[in-house]
Every structure is written in C-alpha cells, then in structure tokens.
Amino acid sequence: MDPKDTKGRVKIPRQKMPEQPPQERIRNFFEVPLGLSPAQAMEEAKRCIQCKNPLCVGGCPVNIEIPWFVRLIAEGKFIEAARKIKETNGLPAVCGRVCPQEEQCERVCVVGKKGEPVSIGRLERFAADYEREHGEVSVPELPHSTGKKVAVVGAGPAGLTVAGDLVKKGHKVTVFEALHTPGGVLVYGIPEFRLPKKIVQSEVDYLKRMGVEIVVNAVIGKLETVDELFSNGYQAVFVGTGAGLPNFMNAPGENLIGVYSANEYLTRVNLMKAFQFPEFDTPVIRGRRIAVVGGGNTAMDSARTALRLCPEEVTIVYRRSREELPARGEEVHHGEEEGLKFQFLTHPKRFIGDADGRLKAVECARMALGDPDESGRRRPVEEKGSEFCIEADVAIIAIGNGANPLIPQTTPDIKLNKWGNITIDQDTGRTSKKGVFSGGDIVRGGATVILAMGDGRRAANSIHEYLATGVW
Amino acid sequence: MYEIIEKAELAHTVYFFRVKAPMIARKRKAGQFVVLRLNEAGERIPLTIVDSNDKDGTISIIVQEVGKSTAMLGDMGPGDSILDVVGPLGRPTHVENFGTVVCVGGGIGVAPVLPIARAMKAAGNTVVSIMGARTKPLLILEKEMRETSDELHVTTDDGSYGHHGFVTQILQKFIDEGRELGCVVGIGPVPMMRAVAGVTKPHGIFTVVSLNPIMVDGTGMCGACRVTVGGKNQFVCVDGPEFNAAEVDFNELIMRNRSYLKEEKAAMEEFTYHEGAKCYEK
Ligand SMILES: Cc1cc2nc3c(=O)[nH]c(=O)nc-3n(C[C@H](O)[C@H](O)[C@H](O)COP(=O)(O)OP(=O)(O)OC[C@H]3O[C@@H](n4cnc5c(N)ncnc54)[C@H](O)[C@@H]3O)c2cc1C
Ligand SMILES: Cc1cc2nc3c(=O)[nH]c(=O)nc-3n(C[C@H](O)[C@H](O)[C@H](O)COP(=O)(O)OP(=O)(O)OC[C@H]3O[C@@H](n4cnc5c(N)ncnc54)[C@H](O)[C@@H]3O)c2cc1C
Ligand code: SF4
Ligand code: SF4
Ligand code: FES
C-alpha cells in the first residue's frame, strides 16, 4: 500500500481480537484475548496514518514513539518494533494488556475521530509477545559499573522500572520484596486470565539477567529499616510499596465468614493458587452466590475470578449507575459475556449470617443520584425504605485501599499526606528524606501500572543525577 | 531456602525447630512472628519466634500439628529446608517495668509466652508464670519457664500434674489474695485468652493477649487477619499481634478461625487429589 494512501488506510477495519469463547473460558483461568496473528497485526498497523504530529504519543504517560513502532510492525519488523517500545517502556507485554488504552493513547488517536482508533495496546502486546516467544530477547550491553548501590523497596511495576533503568546506567541495584514472588499487583492482584504470570516472570528474569538482584521475603521496615539500608552501603532508596490496607465499609456483619477484601480473595486465588486447592494448600470459599461490592477494575477482576470458581451467580453491587462504572469498558463487556450480573444504584448496608457466622445475605438499599460531589460525580443518596436482600454466601469488598504503614512506622522522617500516602516532589520523585525517592500507588493511592512505571522512570533519572552530583 | 538445623519433640505432636535465618535472627524482638511457606504448593502460615541466636543466625519456632501444613512441617527435620521464611513480623511486645507481671500460657501458647517472660524479666519485673495443658505429656518448656520466672505454677485439666484445673483459677486466686499485679500476659487457645480477660477485666488489671487469626500475607495487604478490638477493625499482622484483652472481641475471632474447617479437613484427607481449575461442581 502506498504510504500516502491515507484514505485506503482508514478503510481497513479494526482487526478483531481472537478470544476464548465465554462458555469455555469461565471453566479455566487461561488468558481470554488470544493475541493478534502476525498477519492481523500487520494489517492493523497499516491503519495508522503516521501523523506528523502524533497525538497518541502525548496520550501515553511514558510517551512511547507509537507511530514508529507501529510502522515497524506494518513492515513485518516485529523484533525491531519490540526494541523500539522497550526504549521507553520496560514492560510492554504487561501494558499492552492492562493499560486503559481507551483513556490514554487510543483516546486521542486521530483515526478514532471518525471510526475506531488504531489498536495501539494490542500492537504493543503483539510485538512484546513475538519477541519473547521467538527467544530473541537480548540483554543490552551495560555501561561500566559506577560503584554506586541503590535499594528498591517493592517489586511492583514502579520498583521494577526503577531497577531496570538504574542497572542500565551502571548502578548496582537490589530490590527487596515482601512477598515470596516479585511483581506486586501484577502477580497477586490481576488474574491469570487477564495477565498470565509467566509474562511477569519473564520480565523479572530479564531484569535479573541484566544484573538486578531481587531479594524476596524481605519486608523493609521490619527486616531492615530504610536508615539501615543506608548504613549498609546503599546510597539511594526508592520506595515503591504500593497500596496496602484494604478499605472496609464498617457495615455490621462485615467480619462474617465469607466476607473478603478483594486483596485477600485475589491473593488467595492468584498468588496462592487456591483455584487448584487441594493440590495447592491455600483454600478459598467457593460459594454459590457471590456479591462483589464496588465498580472498579479490582471489583471486575474479583467478579470474573469468582465466575471461574463455579458459583451459580455473581453480582456486582455498585452504588452509582452504569455510566459511572470506573472499570474498563472491555472488562465490563467481558464480564457480561461471562454471565456477570449487575445491581446498579445499590449500596450494601448490612451483612447477615447464619448461626455459625457464615454469610447468607447482604441487605442493600437503593440509591438515587443527587448533586455532584467534589469529584464532579453525582453523589448517590439512599432512598428511604428501599431495603432488600441479596442472597450471598461470599461477598467481596472492592472499595479501594489505604496506605501500608510499615515503612512510615519505622521511618518517621518520610512525610505523608493526610491519607498516609508518601508526598514527593512531582518533578524528581524526591521524598522529604535525603536520598529517598518514591512513586507508584504508595504516592498516588490506587492508580495504574503505566503511571507507576512513569513514576519509576522519573525517579530513576533523578536518582542517577543525585548519585552523580550528591546534591539534594 | 531456610535450613532446619535442629529439631526436638517437646510433646506429642509438638516440635521445636531451629532454623537458619540470620537476618531475622538479628532483628527479632519478643512478641514477633514469621510467616513461612514450606514448598511451592504450600500456604503461608504464621508462627511465633520463640528465641533467636544472633551468633549462629538461627531462630527457634515451636509448632503443634493441627492440620496439613503443620503436619508436613512436623515431618521435616535437620538438613531439610523451608522454602520461604519472612519476618520478623508484627509489633514487638511492649516491655516496661510494671512491678509484677503474670505470664499465663496455655498449651502451645507457652511457646510465645516464654520470650515475653524473658523480656519482662530483663526489664526488672517480678515474673510470676502460670502454665497449663490438658494433660501432663502435653506440657512444654517447663524447665525454661521455671528458669525465667520468679514463681511458676503448673496446671493440668485432668490433674495428671500440678494443680488440677485451669490456669485462670490460679490467676483468680492471685486477685482474691489481693496481690499487686502490674500486667497480665495471656497466650493460648482463644477460649483461654477470653477466660483470662474475663478474670482480669472486672478488676481493671492491664492484660495483654497475642491473637492468632488466619493470615495470608502478614504484611497488612489483605485484611484476612482483621479482628474487632475496641469496636474497630484491627489488622493483627501489622497492628498486633498483641492487644489489650479488655477490648478484644474473642467470639468473633473464634468464629472466623473456623472459616475453612471443611477445606482444612479435605486438605488433610486428599493430599494428592487434583482437579486443577476445572469446574467440577457444576
Ligand atoms: C485487582 C487489580 C486490578 C488492576 N487492574 C489494573 C489494570 O487493568 N490496568 C492498570 O493499569 N492498573 C490496574 N491496577 C492498578 C495497578 O496494578 C497499580 O496501580 C500498580 O500495580 C501500582 O504499582 P506499584 O509498583 O506502585 O505497587 P504494587 O504493584 O502494589 O507493588 C508494590 C510491591 O511492594 C511490596 N511491598 C509492600 N510493602 C513492602 C515492604 N515494606 N518491603 C518490601 N516490599 C514491600 C508489595 O508486596 C508489592 O509487591 C489494578 C490493581 C488491582 C489491585
Ligand atoms: C501470630 C501468630 C502466631 C502463631 N504462632 C504459633 C506458634 O508459635 N506455634 C503454633 O503451633 N501455631 C502458631 N500459630 C497458629 C498456626 O499458624 C496455625 O496452627 C497453622 O497455620 C495451621 O495450619 P495447618 O495447615 O497445619 O492447619 P489447618 O488445618 O489449615 O488449620 C488448623 C487451624 O489453624 C488455623 N489456621 C489455618 N491457616 C492459618 C493461617 N494461614 N494463619 C493462621 N491460622 C491458620 C485455622 O483457623 C484452624 O483453626 C500462630 C498463629 C498466628 C496468627
Ligand atoms: S504504554 Fe499504555 S498508554 Fe502507552 S502506548 Fe502502551 S498501551 Fe498506550
Ligand atoms: S494518532 Fe493514531 S494514526 Fe496518528 S500516529 Fe498515532 S496511532 Fe497513528
Ligand atoms: S495477614 Fe493479610 S493483612 Fe494481615
């Protein structure tokens, strides 16, 4: 096709992502979207009109040179495309799958003004998968060692990005992770059917091959404090401990058997593989009817996980209406295909148990949308006398997280905001404590993978500068 | 991997292990615990650190076989290794000079009481200990408790050794005698801790219990370990494990610890059964 044939390009339809059919996939934990074929990817890539002034790049929080890598795919140069992406994004196989593209790069794509935007995320995933599956992931040549040591606390997307960037600059990096597996939310939160764990594993292996040392089972604040890391010879510390402490509603009956936080439910199933109980030792209550409270990605992941554990009915209970659902449209659509039910404008008031303390129903009230609140969204108000019960033996509370207290408890000179999140200088990622940088969910509260990685990138640059100059 | 250096059988189904974990050994204080995972398919189980040795880099744990994971650990011995050991978790015991401290340990609860008794002693307290078990062969650490305490009372439910009855009866006697008690530390099965709280609460005696809810991560991320204390949700792994006994909702804890009775039984019975992610209930 003539590169200037813009009209011909926009006529190509957006390529359909092959998927496991709903009836099949709710009986397994394998990935739902199967990935574009090479032919499909090349066809999709041709839809990009190679804008002179590509808006998509500005829509991506880490400014991937999108037209460039897309052109390489159109030319069949898949490995080169993957390398191009990796110049700016260390975890393309992850972001291509879990980024809210429709609100970022793809939202501003000009092709999307008239029809559907270029599938940037799927192409990114395609390139990264192709590179990994064809065994051509090469380790870049590393510069001469600077002799400086950096400690990274937390092996989530923020911490892993910092680690990757800093080894490439010649520093020695040790990542301390509290759990027994690195990856943060990517391994304990986001389910296998959305992000296969072997992908996270291979990204972690790549970092190790570049020389990053990863110490698991290391809870900083307990095993060693931040100050002790400095006295052990680390010259800078990055804190990427993510969100912690799941929020509860403080509703009566919330501690009944069968009421889980989304973190607990997902950790049991994803990290501890409770779906393979009793081959794996960690149990989870499978339940017959499951109510999931909340409307974000975490609620959707919990609900779709629950569907795969075989209950009769899984219902999302959300206090606003469908329009306000914060979860990605694609996830809601996938959930509905899988038989997920919704109770909108509904708020749980009380959890009701049987004589053994096991959950049997959730009492809810109907809500109406009132005037907008500080966030600009219309505030739900309870309709008096509208109470009704939803039968449920498992309830999963997915209403966000607070901040983990372990580091602040032992390092009081790191300043926090009123919610307990670490405050940083926006341009450098510096905290109030000399030599300590931070980013990701511990700073932002719940955010996204790509924002956490963007924070990591920025912090890595300023750590590099700080190590070179010693100026704080 | 964390190597087991030494093992001893303290009582029927109760084992003592010394495990190589130098970093944890260096930091650990009385009242703290570890979470361990035996192998790739294992669950994460919390166990109190009973003692540690900074010189040889070991920590000691005492475990009672109650289900699959603890039974598997009970089968391990010197030369075997535990896949993951993470800690020291939880807040250390609040140790100060209270004057007289009564340390009450029931059953396997004597294991976590011992390091606290030692720390209280080191802080200048008069340590009066009461330890109990169902029957004589189940008593553990009597010698160590005797060495640590200014006064030791032993009880058995069946009267096979020491005082015939419950630890709380001795505690009640102290109160009736008008002894000045600065602090009571009670650790054991939840019903025992509830009973201790019941004895001391009417007299306003400051009482600390160490709670043992079901845990997963042990780092404050999942909320599995939540317990109502003073009407509020507390996460035992980061806010505890020790709490003011007068404020703890023990009944809720007893209830929540029964969450997986059915599954735990199945795990014991069907060690190898595997259906994967398949849906066999539909
Ligand atoms: C269920 C779920 C679904 C999501 N879906 C999406 C999605 O589709 N798209 C998207 O973009 N975002 C999604 N998010 C949000 C995204 O996962 C997070 O914003 C992102 O992971 C934050 O990265 P992080 O590195 O800051 O923290 P985390 O990923 O939380 O990692 C922090 C790590 O630090 C470790 N740690 C904590 N304390 C300590 C300590 N004291 N010492 C050592 N280690 C410690 C933790 O164990 C963890 O491994 C989802 C989140 C959840 C929970
Ligand atoms: C802070 C703390 C310190 C502890 N210290 C000791 C100790 O020093 N020695 C000792 O023998 N035991 C101790 N326990 C209890 C020990 O963790 C459980 O006995 C063990 O997890 C049981 O596992 P299982 O697979 O053998 O039994 P299961 O068959 O799984 O369960 C048997 C019982 O153990 C409880 N249990 C199951 N899984 C967990 C879990 N992940 N976390 C907590 N409890 C669970 C169940 O409520 C049940 O009542 C402690 C618990 C806590 C929370
Ligand atoms: S990283 Fe996310 S926002 Fe950036 S191009 Fe990829 S999918 Fe789009
Ligand atoms: S905005 Fe769309 S069409 Fe333009 S370069 Fe980016 S992806 Fe291609
Ligand atoms: S065990 Fe998960 S928060 Fe305490």
Q: What is the pLDDT of residues B36-76, one digit of tens each?
A: 999 999 999 999 999 999 999 999 999 999 888 999 999 99
Residue with tokens 């389910």: A191
What CATH topology corresponds to A248-399?
FAD/NAD(P)-binding domain (3.50.50)
Share of chain B above pLDDT 90, in %: 84
Whole-number pLDDT of residue A55: 94
Tell me what the mean pLDDT of segment A199-224 comes to: 93
Whole-number pLDDT of residue A136: 66
CATH 3.10.450.200 at A149-244+402-469, yes or no = no
Q: Nearest by CB to A404, which of B221, B224, B252?
A: B221
Tell whether B233 is within 8 A of chain A (Cβ).
yes
In chain B, which residues have their Cβ closer than 8 Å to the Cβ of A28? 277-278
- The answer to whether the CB of B21 is under 6 A from ligand 5 is no
Q: Given this chain, do its domains A149-244+402-469 and A248-399 carry the same CATH topology?
A: yes
SS3 content of chain B, % helix, strand, coil (to 5): 30, 30, 40
Mind giving me the DSSP string for A285-323?
A: ---SEEEEE--SHHHHHHHHHHHHT--SEEEEE-SS-GG
Q: Sorting pLDDT into bands at 50, 70 and 90, what band is A4?
A: low
Tell me what the mean pLDDT of segment A55-66 comes to: 93
Q: Which of A297, A406, A414, A458 to mutate to test the pocket of ligand 1 (most atoms within 8 A of CB)?
A: A297
Whole-number pLDDT of residue A2: 61
* pTM for this model (two decimals): 0.93
Q: What is the dihedral angle through the alpha carbons of A394, A282, A184, A167, rounded to the nearest 10 degrees?
A: -170
Best of B34, B221, B254 to disrupt the A interface (most A CBs within 10 Å) is B221
Strand partners, B227: B234
Cβ of B37 within 8 Å of Cβ of A180? The answer is yes
Cβ of A246 within 8 Å of Cβ of B223? The answer is yes
Q: Sorting pLDDT into bands at 50, 70 and 90, what band is B279?
A: very low
**What ipTM was estimated for this complex?**
0.92
Q: What is the pLDDT of residues A101-148, one digit of tens each?
A: 999 999 999 999 888 999 999 999 999 999 988 876 777 788 888 999
Give the number of residues written for chain A.
472
Name the token pair of B43.
């669950």
Question: Mean of the per-residue pLDDT values for chain A?
Answer: 92
Rounded to an integer, what distance in angstroms lies between the CA atom of residue A463 and that of residue A468? Answer: 9
- Measuring from each residue's beta carbon to the nearest atom of ligand 3, which residues come in under 6 Å? A 60, 62, 64, 66, 89, 95-96, 99, 101, 104-105, 120-121, 124, 450
Share of chain B above pLDDT 70, in %: 95
| pLDDT of residue A233 exceeding 90 | yes
Share of chain A above pLDDT 90, in %: 72
Please give the backbone phi and psi of residue B81, each rounded to the nearest 5 degrees, phi first: -125, 145
Nearest to B240 by CA among B214, B217, B212: B212
Rounded to an integer, what distance in angstroms lies between the CA atom of residue A18 and that of residue B130? Answer: 68
Whole-number pLDDT of residue B270: 62
Q: Are A288 and A301 in contact (CB under 8 A)?
A: no
| pLDDT of residue A235 exceeding 50 | yes
Q: What is the pLDDT of residues A363-403, one digit of tens each?
A: 999 999 888 877 777 888 988 999 999 999 999 999 998 88
* Domain positions in chain A: 6-133, 149-244+402-469, 248-399
For residues B6 and A13, which has the higher predicted lDDT (pLDDT)? B6
Tell me what the mean pLDDT of segment A1-28 comes to: 81
Rounded to an integer, what distance in angstroms lies between the CA atom of residue A439 and that of residue A411? Answer: 16
Tell me what the mean pLDDT of segment A198-218 comes to: 93
Q: Which CATH class is domain A6-133?
A: mainly alpha
Tell me what the mean pLDDT of segment A427-438 comes to: 94
How far apart are the CA of A127 and the centre of ligand 4, in A? Answer: 17
